Chains A and B, each alone.
Chain A
Amino acid sequence: MNEILNALFVLVLILNLFALGNGRILSVIKIVAVQGVLLGIIPLFIHAHLTAPEVITSVATIALKGFIIPAMMTKALRDVQIKREVEPLIGLLPSTILGALAIGITFLAFAGAEPGLSGGASLIIPTSIATVIVGFIILTTRFKALSQVLGYLVLENGIYIFSLLLVEAIPLVVEMGMLLDLFVSIFIVSIITNHINRAFSTLDTRALSTLKE
């Protein structure tokens, strides 16, 4: 059990690095989708006895993060007809190295710092925080609106990982509410990116600079 769980967390971290190192937006959408599916699978391995709410949450997470949101993003991408993130603030390779460093530091900081957690669960906190940081890196160093949304999704995935520690604190209705919020926000964002593209003829958020002091 623990070996599988550890392997899954390592996979999540590797996907973070792939997301940082890939300039094709469509590929990043797919990477984040795979990460979403993994996040749906992980809870099934954490708990010895599965209850109905846990299974429902897992299925809903996989459906939303693995399929529905990627499909919405792919459609938004097709509508605006762009393919690549050109000239990010930090190049792809440097940002991958930065991400790897962040992961390393997080693991050093949290390794063994949390005594109460044993086995596979001990990876939850560092993986979560490292994923949040990677999400931030993507969000702040990419300029295309859709890339920034992908950064937000990675950040959100990181927060989701943390919630795996707290299953008893988060009832099903709240879990579903969070997923619904995520769905609606991506829905609104995909409409707005389309309108940004029409109004400004680009998805580069640096064009959005009329409003300032």
Chain B
Amino acid sequence: MILILIAFPLFMSALALIVPWNRVRPFFLPLSGVAHVAVTALVIARPEYRAFTEWLAIDPLAVVILLSVSALYLLSSFYAVGYLRYKKDRSNRVFVASFSAFLGLISLAVCSRHLGLMWVAIEGTTLVTAPLIYFNRSPRSIEATWKYLLVGSVGIALALLGTFFLAYASLRGGRGATLDLGELVAAAPGMSAPWLRAAFILLLVGYGTKMGLAPMHTWKPDAYGEASGAVGAILAGGVTSGAFLALMRIYQITVAAGQGAFASRLLVFMGLFSMATAGVFMINQRDFKRMLAYSSVEHMGILALGVGIGGVALWGALLHVLMNSMTKGALFLSAGNIQRAYQDKTTDAVRGAFRVVPLSASLFLAGFLAITGSPPFGPFISEFTILSGAFASGRFVSGALFLVFLLVVFVGMGITVLKVVQGKAPEDVVDKGYRESALTTIPTVSFMALVILLGVYIPPFLKDMLLQAMQYLGSQL
């Protein structure tokens, strides 16, 4: 089963490189997506399919990430077909191959029980997403790709050094050098503390760069700003979730080694700092796609904060991975539609989107309300859980700061979003008569439907999944 999750998208990617038909190629993406979701559903329903080899298995934590990545990819892949229809004049060979390879590599990262293998897969996702950001070939997208690659590669290189430090900490502890996750957790209590701490810091910086935690987030606004809607969605919901999983693995080892307090302090600090940074840059943000990038920085901060606080907040953070992915899907896809209608992504030119693209504008507004934690949308539940977790564990300062930053972000983001959707649309845009197509709106509507559904009803299987992940991490509600 795991082999299908990893190999099928990679196979489709290779096929996309070979197949010469530009019109047929985009359909490979939903094909990979449907197969992936089907296998993911099977793996969730039948836990006996979760084991494969010593280094490839889906543990209770991985299954949570797998579900959110799989659902996000499926809907984004349909949107990508619609998007590529607008770009008929250009070869989509590299785009389809990279988009499909991404799914295989992120699955490999999620299923890896060996930290070296996981690193290889996550670095791989950086490399295959670079050509996606670069797809428009404009000087701006070249600049964004260059920064993405350079910052991402250096960050991920530090994560590799941290991974090696971790193996060395185990070697110094007398258990032999290992990067196998199970063995590392077992060896953790005896690990050399200074090396373990150094490893945690390097890994936090390294995978934090991929997640986009401040101050390592600098590539994010550029990359998300220049990427198309579907690519932005899989970056903001897929790559970041994979990096978050990597960080959780390290956190698990650090906690097992008795250094949990040290790790928590750092995570809480990084989380709040990311939220604050995002808040500052979101105020007066004219570019609504860069605004979404800062929103992603904020939500990665929320995840780090939730994990750092632990307990109930950890449950909230795990739920928030899913909520964030789905809401970011709705936001990036609708933002892509608005940008296409106006051929612009700043509030200087984009006004009155309700008149030009009513459906996408409504979804964009709903997505904004959802991501900022308004009821009845899904993220409200997860963010509220993290907040109550903070207060329940006596971290009043963190909880209060969390609330303040949420408010700042709400106001900052709200001003930009309202400018986009309200007001009078420029005449020339209205005259162009841009029509929304089914392939670019149905996935967006589906994302929003999921966000609302999860806001009013969390299915029992999902609750079980999260609970098992908590138990797996050795944490109590």
Chain A positions within 8 Å of B, measured between CB atoms, are 114, 116, 132, 139, 145, 148, 152, 155-156, 158-159, 162-163, 165-171, 173-174, 177-178, 180-181, 184-185, 188-189, 192, 195-196, 199-200, 205, 208-211, 213
Q: Report B130 CB to chain A, min CB distance, Å.
A: 6
> In the complex, are the beta carbons of B146 and A152 less than 8 A apart?
no
Q: Report B370 CB to chain A, min CB distance, Å.
A: 25
Mask: chain B, 148-159; 1 = CB below 8 Å from A; 0 = not: 011001100100
B193 in contact (CB, < 8 A): no
Q: Report A140 CB to chain B, min CB distance, Å.
A: 10
Chain B positions within 8 Å of A, measured between CB atoms, are 114, 116-117, 119-121, 123-124, 127, 130-131, 134, 137, 139-140, 142-147, 149-150, 153-154, 157, 160-161, 164-165, 167-168, 170-172, 176-179, 221-222, 225-226, 281, 285, 290
> In the complex, are the beta carbons of A169 and B161 less than 8 A apart?
no
State the total of A-B contacts with C-beta under 8 angstroms: 119
Cα distance, A139 to B150, chains bound together (Å): 10
Nearest residue, chain A, Cβ from B127: A184
> In the complex, are the beta carbons of A159 and B157 less than 8 A apart?
yes
Given contacts A158-B161, A166-B171, 4 further A-B contacts (CB under 8 A): A132-B161, A166-B179, A169-B177, A178-B123
Cα distance, A152 to B143, chains bound together (Å): 18
Chain A residues with Cβ below 8 Å from B139 are 199-200, 210
Chain B residues with Cβ below 8 Å from A168 are 176-178
Chain B residues with Cβ below 8 Å from A192 are 130, 134, 142, 145-146, 149
Picked from B119, B130, B167, B285, the residue with its CB within 8 Å of the CB of A169 is B167
> In the complex, are the beta carbons of B154 and A145 less than 8 A apart?
no
Picked from B130, B134, B178, B226, the residue with its CB within 8 Å of the CB of A211 is B226
Chain B residues with Cβ below 8 Å from A208 are 142-143, 146-147
What are the 3 A-B residue pairs with the smallest beta carbon separation, nearest first? Answer: A177-B120, A174-B116, A169-B177
> In the complex, are the beta carbons of B177 and A165 less than 8 A apart?
yes
Chain B residues with Cβ below 8 Å from A189 are 149
Chain B residues with Cβ below 8 Å from A213 are 221, 281, 285, 290
Nearest residue, chain A, Cβ from B294: A213
Cα distance, A208 to B147, chains bound together (Å): 9
Cα distance, A170 to B146, chains bound together (Å): 30
Nearest residue, chain A, Cβ from B55: A171
Cα distance, A20 to B131, chains bound together (Å): 31
Picked from B120, B146, B171, B222, the residue with its CB within 8 Å of the CB of A174 is B120
Picked from B116, B150, B154, the residue with its CB within 8 Å of the CB of A171 is B116
